[in-house]
Amino acid sequence: MKTAEKLAAGWLLTLGFMFLSVSTSAMMQKNAMQKPMLPGLRYYDFRNEAAINVLDNTALHGLIFGVPTSVLGVWMALGIFRQTRQERKAIKSQANEALQSTFYRMIQENNGRITLVSFAMQSQLPPATAKQYLDDQAKLFNANFKVSEEGGISYDFYL
């Protein structure tokens, strides 16, 4: 469904641009036709009324079809953009909730002590990201750090 919406928005934008381009081109041709060709001659002596009427109609029809088509295409594209942004926000929120749930569960199970390796394994985060998350939570909850002789870091959160 989303692919069809993207294709429809792109098609409408392209079609609207084409109509507006035709309208602009017709107006430019009309203006070029109305300029005097030689100094001293009046342009209306050689004016082609039929061609000017055709160009006026072309410009008007291009605007009539181009503006609504372009506006609809832009509206659809913005709707798709907003929907995608909301979906990403929801996914990020769910991931944060799952991470927080894992964090609280591990604190509860281990009486407030969490090691970096165990948290990274449980949350399936890369070690650098897990360390950053635990550092942030330790600052927030005033936890203590303990470094083992092997260099492992454990965090003590008070329950």
Question: Does one domain contain both 89 and 114?
Answer: no
pLDDT in tens, 94-111: 988 989 999 999 988 888
Question: Does one domain contain both 81 and 141?
Answer: no
Tell me the whole-structure pTM to 2 decimals: 0.63
Positions of the chain with pLDDT lower than 70, given as ranges: 1, 36-46
**Cα distance between the two ends of the chain:** 49
pLDDT value of position 38 = 64
The answer to the question of residue 133 being in a domain is yes
- CATH number of the domain where residue 157 is located: 1.10.10
Measuring CA to CA, which residue among 154, 152, 155, 129 is closest to residue 141? 155
Question: Does one domain contain both 82 and 116?
Answer: no
Question: Does one domain contain both 19 and 52?
Answer: yes
Question: Does one domain contain both 50 and 114?
Answer: no
Question: Does one domain contain both 11 and 80?
Answer: yes
Which secondary-structure segment (H or E) carries 12? helix 2-33
Question: Does one domain contain both 14 and 89?
Answer: yes
pLDDT value of position 76 = 95
d(CA 16, CA 35): 29
Question: Does one domain contain both 2 and 79?
Answer: yes
Which residue range forms the structural domain that includes residue 19?
1-93
Question: Does one domain contain both 72 and 114?
Answer: no
